[in-house]
């Protein structure tokens, strides 16, 4: 029984936190929002200088080894700054899919570009995708950072393919997206040529596990940062002759945020650990984590706005960045209700 | 970071489970599955003595005081297997989890010799005398008085919510020993024997018809001058030390009992078809997730060996489980429907789930209300300025 970070994990967490706090500043994020939603310089620095992009990818496949616990640590730190990065699409979904389901040749060909940040990948899921041989026809409306992607990992419920973004039959339409730090694109495939991944089931399973954990960990980071920033404000802002943080109505709301966050923290690291250890609980844990932590992020970001009063409603304040990211975390990769229904099916059986 | 236990720990788990299951299938089968605190109290005292005689009374204590020097992980495992085997909760949990550890930390050698072996052996049952009418969670408002008369303390006053006082042997009392003192100053922490003239115990009937706690009246009750823990006037510090033991290993055992309650709801929902209702499915899923998060929250808390620092998980745990269980009680009633509102028992005794619904209204009150807990989280955990307080 040792459900606490190892010394190495503590070090990774400190490094990641320092990196994102220093570099993923509000100014840079806002500059990225005005462009394609990616802080390109930050992404290059993350992939090439920090050396953490290969976390969760086996060393044999050119990664850094380690596991989802370490990936969660990174995602939490990135989430805390609402960093404008393709961490979810490129690394958690696509690189994981290729590492788990790609042949040795596919790993060799595609992973180095993703891990170095030279290629950004978008994860395209269309349950009703039509595959005529490997000619793919279908559409997905919400591909995170799809407008910047050079490579697509395309999945249906049964198959998984690699598709070059500039291949004939591929149309990518960037969309104006509420969360400007992770804009969506619509990807349309009209007989586009796909290269099948060697083991599609393994690819999809790995992408989902890592995706759910990463979204949950980002949510944890968002929630904690929303709390931390609100706590700082509660100390300095004086109303009726007292710091507002001394009012019980205010501090009880902060306390409720802490209660949710502590549970979300347990959820994220339970899920990451359960996947890394191949535990029987892994399926339950990733659905629990994704639904719970995304809800926690939304609650805390919403409270952040309320507890800041009018300033929290302005474009100038960062609260809306957290609020929009949190809402996006709730809907991406399956709603909370969908994830809870997966849990219900595990413990109650399918509904009649 | 890892979730699992080592092979040696798993072997220990099997040893615990085998022994506990054998007892519940054999000599003590008549108390298996009891979920209230008061049912068959005398038989359960015999069970506690049986536990003690077999070395399972207080496994986390040092060997010299009747324990096993069990590691934290072993204590966690024992607590889980204890609850999983359907063994009733400990009637002496105050002695084991609060009085004993307080004596270990702050008692004299003589006090340890006098009390600890008998607590471990299940022969001395303790209850606590903290709360008073009008004081509630505000422990600094204690008005019960203790004055030294020769070589004895004489105590006057009233305590309330003294759980299981009517079946206990001893009580610890926080009393005001300095005339005119206010707030946390001038309090003394005394160990007093029950059953003496001058102590009257009146059970309080509660919402579910049971009576597990009491009003306890002190009218010239006495104890020897050396019955105090800590120094005269040092009672506040002793009480705070004691309360810090409350976030212990037993949380894991508590969760096994919660598991049984949730499993009862799952079984009922499957039996009456509400398991097909999408809203019920969502609520059951939330309850399942909440239970798992309590378990991993407790493991995180216990894995954090630096207990000196204020730990977020530890501060939030009380609100987590109390709120979760109150919601569970409401879910149980919604799943069972009106069938839950009648019982065949003419004595107003309720099955597990309706009883859970009624009893869980206490969970968000005792041990510090949810509101007090929120103040603690905000003030101690987040460093928020204190709410202005009265002139205590």
Q: Pick from B275, B289, B296: which is nearest to A3 by CB?
A: B296
What distance in Å separates the CA atoms of residue B69 and residue B75, rounded to the nearest whole number? 10
Token couple for B206:
């509660």
Cβ atoms < 10 Å from Cβ of B220: 12
B126-129 and A195-196: which strand pairing? Answer: unpaired
Residue A248: list chain B partners with CB under 8 A: 375, 387
Per-residue pLDDT at B301:
85
Contact A254 B377 (CB under 8 A): yes
User: Residue A348: which of B284, B371, B381 has the nearest Cβ?
Assistant: B284
Contact yes or no for B197/B217 (Cβ under 8 A): no
How close, in Å, is residue A288 to chain B by CA atoms? Answer: 6
**Cβ of B299 and A349 within 8 Å?**
no
Is residue B139 predicted with pLDDT exceeding 70? yes
Chain-wide mean pLDDT for chain B? Answer: 92
Q: Does the beta-carbon distance from B375 to A351 stay under 8 Å?
A: no
How far is A95 from A117, CA to CA, in rounded Å?
A: 11
Q: What is the 3-state secondary structure (H, E, C) of chain B?
A: CECCCCHHHHHHHHHHHHHHHHHHHCCCHHHCCCCCCCCCHHHHHHHHHHHHHCCCCCCCCCHHHCCCCCCHHHHHHHHHHHHHCCCCCCCCHHHHHHHHHHHHHHCCHHHHHHHHHHHHCCCCCEEEECCCCCCCCCHHHCCCEEEEECCEEEEEEEEECCCCHHHCCEEEEEEECCCCCCCCCCEEEEEEECCCCCEEEEEECCCCCCCCEEEEEEEEEEEEHHHEECCCCEHHHHHHHHHHHHCCCHHHHHHHHHHHHHHHHHHHHHHHCHHHCHHHHHHHHHHHHHHHHHHHHHHHHHHCCCCCCCCHHHHHHHHHHHHHHHHHHHHHHHHHHHHHHCCCCCCCCCCHHHHHHHHCCCCCCCCCCHHHHHHHHHHHHCCCCCCCCCCC
User: What pLDDT sits at residue A9?
Assistant: 95
Confidence (pLDDT) at A87: 97
Q: CB burial class (10 A; 0-12, 13-18, 19+) of residue B209?
A: middle
* A246:B312 CB<8 A: no
Q: What is the pLDDT of residue B391?
A: 55
Can you give the pLDDT at residue A62? Answer: 86
Lowest mean per-residue pLDDT among A46-50, A100-104, A204-208, B302-306: B302-306
d(CA B371, CA B177): 30
Identify the active-site residue in B15, B246, B288, B347. Answer: B246
**Closest residue in chain B to residue A282, using alpha carbons only:** B3
Q: In which band, very low, low, confident or very high, does the pLDDT at B306 lie, cut at 50, 70 and 90?
A: low
Angstrom distance (rounded) from CA B295 to CA B288: 11
pLDDT 10s digits, B198-237: 999 999 999 999 998 999 999 999 999 999 999 999 999 9
- C-alpha dist (Å) from residue B331 to A263, B207, B270: 21, 18, 14
Buried b (16+ CB within 10 A) or exposed e, A132-168: eeeebbbebebbbbbbbbebbbbbbeebbbbbbbeee
How many Å apart are CA A120 and CA A326, to the nearest integer?
Answer: 23
Nearest CA in chain B to A66: B1
Q: How many CB pairs under 8 A join A and B?
A: 169
Decide: A53 and A42 in contact? Cβ < 8 Å. no
Closest Cβ opposite residue A9 in set B1, B290, B296: B1
Is A344 in contact with B379 (Cβ distance < 8 A)? no
Q: Which of B81, B72, B21 is nearest to B253 (CA)?
A: B81
B73 → chain A, closest CA residue: A1
Question: Under an 8 A CB cutoff, do A285 and B292 touch?
Answer: yes
Q: Which chain A residue lies closest to B5 (C-alpha atoms)?
A: A1
Q: Are the C-beta atoms of A75 and A217 separated by less than 8 Å?
A: yes
**Mean pLDDT score across all residues of chain A:** 96
Question: Active site includes B149?
Answer: no
Distance, in Å, from the CA atom of B351 to the CA atom of B332, rounded to the nearest integer, reads 11
Closest CA to A194 of A167, A158, A171, A173: A167
- The verdict on a CB contact (< 8 Å) between A234 and B300 is no
A265, A274, A292: residue with CB nearest B3? A274
Residues 6+ apart with CB under 8 A from B175: B142, B144, B145, B146, B153, B155, B157, B187, B188, B190, B235
What is the per-residue pLDDT across A262-318, written as a single tens digit (0 to 9) for each?
999 999 999 999 999 999 999 999 999 999 999 999 999 999 999 999 999 999 999
Which of A254, A263, A337 is the closest to B382 by Cβ? A254
Quick check: B333 and B357 in contact, CB under 8 A? yes
Looking at residue B392, what is its pLDDT? 46
What pairs with residue A185 in β-bridges?
A: A143, A174
The conformation of residue A166, written as its DSSP 8-state character, comes to T
CB A189 within 8 A of CB A163: yes
Nearest residue of chain B to residue A238 (CA atoms): B385
Q: Report pLDDT digits (tens) over A169-212.
A: 999 999 999 999 999 999 999 999 999 999 999 999 999 999 99
**What tens digit of pLDDT does each residue of B147-169 get?**
999 999 999 999 999 999 999 99
Q: Inter-axis angle of helices B7-25 and B72-84, to 10 degrees?
A: 30
Nearest to B239 by CA among B112, B141, B113, B375: B141
**A1–chain B Cβ distance below 8 A for any pair:** yes
> Which of B278, B285, B374 comes nearest A252 by C-beta?
B374
| Closest CB from A1, A251, A285 relative to B375 | A251
Only one residue has tokens 């500059």, namely: A31
Confidence grade of residue B77 (pLDDT, cut at 50, 70, 90): very high
Lowest-pLDDT range of A43-47, A76-80, A118-122, B131-135: B131-135
User: How close A270 comes to chain B (CA, Å)?
Assistant: 7
**ipTM given for this complex:** 0.96
| CB contact residues (below 8 A), chain A span 220-259, against chain B | 231, 234-235, 242-243, 245-248, 251-252, 254-256, 258-259
Residue with tokens 């207990």: B307
- B390 falls in which pLDDT band (50, 70, 90)? low
Give the gap in angstroms from C-alpha A236 to the nearest C-alpha of chain B: 11
Report CB contact under 8 Å: A266, B313.
Answer: yes
- Partner-chain contact B384 A235, CB within 8 Å: yes
Task: Report how far residue B45's alpha carbon sits from residue B237's, in angstroms, rounded to the nearest whole number.
Answer: 31
Query: Phi and psi (nearest 5°) for A155?
Result: -130, 145
CB A85 within 8 A of CB A44: no
User: What is the longest distance spanned by two Cα atoms in chain A?
Assistant: 72
Provide the percentage of residues in chain A whose pLDDT is more than 90. 95
Contacts of residue A47, Cβ cutoff 8 Å, sequence gap at least 6? A53, A115, A116, A117
Q: Which residues of A touch B313 (CB under 8 A)?
A: 262, 265-266
Determine the pLDDT at residue B312. 65
How close A182 comes to chain B (CA, Å)?
A: 28
Q: Flag if B378 and A254 touch (Cβ within 8 Å).
A: yes
Q: Provide the 8-state DSSP code for A157.
A: S
Residues in A closer than 8 angstroms to B290, CB to CB, are 263
Lowest average pLDDT, out of A52-66, A98-112, A181-195, goes to: A52-66
pLDDT at B21 exceeding the cut of 60: yes
Rounded-to-integer distance, Cα A289 and Cα A212, Å: 7
- Cβ neighbours of A11 (radius 10 Å): 12
Q: Quick one: pLDDT band at residue B246, thresholds 50, 70, 90?
A: low
Q: Each residue of B332-355: pLDDT tens digit? A: 999 999 999 999 999 899 999 999
Residue of A nearest to B6 (CA): A1
What phi and psi values does residue B219 have, to the nearest 5 degrees? Answer: -135, 85
């Amino acid at each position: 029984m040792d459900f606490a970070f190892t010394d190495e994990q503590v070090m990774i967490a400190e490094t990641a936190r320092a990196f994102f706090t220093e570099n993923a500043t509000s100014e840079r994020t806002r500059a990225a929002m005005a462009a394609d939603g990616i802080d390109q310089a930050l992404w290059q620095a993350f992939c090439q200088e920090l050396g953490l992009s290969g976390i969760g990818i086996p060393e044999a496949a050119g990664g850094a080894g380690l596991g989802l616990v370490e990936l969660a640590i990174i995602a939490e730190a990135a989430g805390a700054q609402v960093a404008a990065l393709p961490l979810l699409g490129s690394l958690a979904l696509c690189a994981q899919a290729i590492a788990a389901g790609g042949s040795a040749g596919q790993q060799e060909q595609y992973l180095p570009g993703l891990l170095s940040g030279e290629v950004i990948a978008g994860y395209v899921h269309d349950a009703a995708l039509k595959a005529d041989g490997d000619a793919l026809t279908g559409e997905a409306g919400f591909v995170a950072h799809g407008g910047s992607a050079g490579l697509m990992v395309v999945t249906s419920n049964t198959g998984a393919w690699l598709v070059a973004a500039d291949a004939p039959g591929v149309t990518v339409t960037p969309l104006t997206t509420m969360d400007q730090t992770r804009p969506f694109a619509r990807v349309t495939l009209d007989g586009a040529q796909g290269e099948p991944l060697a083991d599609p089931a393994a690819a999809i399973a790995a992408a989902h596990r890592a995706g759910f954990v990463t979204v949950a960990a980002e949510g944890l980071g968002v929630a904690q940062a929303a709390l931390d920033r609100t706590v700082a404000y509660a100390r300095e802002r004086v109303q009726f002759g007292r710091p507002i943080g001394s009012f019980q109505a205010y501090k009880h709301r902060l306390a409720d945020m802490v209660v949710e966050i502590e549970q979300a923290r347990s959820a994220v690291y339970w899920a990451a650990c359960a996947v890394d250890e191949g535990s029987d609980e892994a399926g339950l844990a990733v659905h629990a984590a994704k639904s719970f932590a995304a809800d926690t992020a939304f609650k805390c970001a919403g409270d952040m706005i309320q507890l800041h009063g009018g300033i929290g409603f302005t474009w100038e304040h960062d609260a809306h960045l957290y609020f929009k990211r949190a809402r996006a975390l709730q809907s991406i990769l399956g709603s909370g209700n969908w994830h809870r229904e997966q849990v219900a099916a595990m413990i109650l059986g399918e509904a009649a | 970071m890892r979730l699992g236990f080592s092979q040696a720990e798993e072997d220990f788990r099997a040893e615990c489970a085998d022994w506990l299951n054998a007892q519940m299938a054999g000599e003590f089968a008549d108390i298996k599955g009891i979920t209230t605190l008061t049912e068959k109290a005398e038989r359960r005292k015999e069970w506690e003595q049986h536990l003690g005689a077999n070395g399972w009374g207080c496994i986390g204590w040092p060997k010299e005081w009747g324990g096993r020097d069990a590691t934290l992980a072993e204590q966690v495992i024992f607590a889980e297997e204890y609850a999983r085997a359907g063994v009733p909760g400990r009637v002496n949990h105050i002695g084991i989890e609060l009085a004993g550890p307080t004596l270990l930390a702050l008692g004299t050698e003589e006090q340890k010799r006098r009390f600890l072996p008998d607590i471990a052996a299940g022969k001395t049952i303790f209850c606590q005398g903290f709360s008073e009418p009008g004081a509630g969670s505000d422990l600094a408002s204690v008005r019960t008085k203790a004055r030294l008369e020769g070589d004895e303390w004489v105590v006057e006053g009233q305590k309330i919510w003294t759980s299981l006082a009517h079946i206990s042997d001893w009580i610890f009392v926080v009393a005001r020993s300095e005339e005119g003192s206010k707030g946390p100053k001038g309090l003394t922490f005394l160990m007093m024997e029950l059953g003496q003239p001058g102590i009257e115990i009146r059970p309080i009937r509660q919402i579910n018809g049971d009576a597990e706690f009491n009003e306890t009246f002190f009218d010239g009750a006495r104890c020897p001058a050396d019955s105090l823990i800590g120094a005269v006037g040092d009672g506040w510090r002793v009480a705070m030390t004691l309360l810090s033991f409350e976030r212990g290993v037993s949380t894991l055992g508590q969760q096994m009992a919660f598991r049984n309650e949730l499993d009862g709801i799952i079984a009922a929902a499957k039996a009456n078809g509400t398991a097909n209702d999408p809203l019920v499915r969502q609520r059951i899923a939330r309850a399942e997730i909440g239970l798992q998060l309590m378990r991993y929250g407790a493991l995180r808390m216990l894995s954090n060996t630096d207990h000196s620092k204020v730990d977020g998980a530890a501060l939030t745990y009380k609100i987590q489980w109390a709120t979760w269980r109150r919601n569970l009680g409401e879910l149980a009633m919604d799943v069972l429907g009106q069938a839950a509102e009648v019982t065949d028992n003419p004595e107003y005794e309720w099955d597990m789930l309706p009883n859970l619904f009624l009893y869980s209204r206490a969970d968000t009150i005792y041990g510090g209300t949810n509101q007090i807990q929120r103040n603690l989280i905000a003030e101690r955990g987040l460093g928020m300025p204190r709410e202005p307080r009265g002139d205590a």
